[in-house]
Amino acid sequence: MGSAKSERSEGRFNRHRRIRQRVVGTAGRPRLSVHRSLKQLYAQIIDDEQARTLVSISSLEKTVRQELEGEKTGLKRSRLLGKILAKRAKERGVSRVAFDRGGYLYHGHVKELADGARESGLEF
């Protein structure tokens, strides 16, 4: 018998694998991949055809932390992270993405990041 934590992470990994069978990033529509740890949030926009990360963001980055300093609640910080990601993507010429929630529920921080990116002009 495995621990509850390993069973949860294994379940998320299986969900992520199923999602990745359908969601593929191309040059015209790269994949927006989200990873969530207990305290941090990470996102990347990836072109799977060339195996290249076009844009990435992390709640640990110094410039991002400075912009997030005023926000107290985590959900507002996640939304702001999505807005910053969308701004960076626009600078790189990316306007349409395929959303990959990484096996996480489309709820809470993942949903707020997606909503923030949509507000700033990313289409998915």
CATH number of the domain that residue 33 is part of: 3.30.420.100
For the record, the structure tokens of 4 come out as 């509850």
Residue 59 in any domain: the answer is yes
CB burial of residue 110 (10 Å; 0-12, 13-18, 19+): buried
Domain count, the chain: 1
In a domain, 76, yes or no: yes
The answer to whether residue 92 is domain-embedded is yes
Q: How far is CA 43 from CA 5, 28, 64, in A?
A: 23, 19, 13
Distance of CA 97 to the CA centre of its chain: 11
124 domain residue, yes or no: no
- Residue 13 in domain: yes
- Confirm whether pTM is higher than 0.75: yes
What pLDDT was estimated at residue 1? 56
Q: Which residues of the chain have pLDDT under 70?
A: 1-2
Please give the residue range of the domain that contains residue 63: 4-119
Q: What is the pLDDT of residue 69?
A: 85
Q: How far apart are CA 9 and CA 7, in angstroms?
A: 6
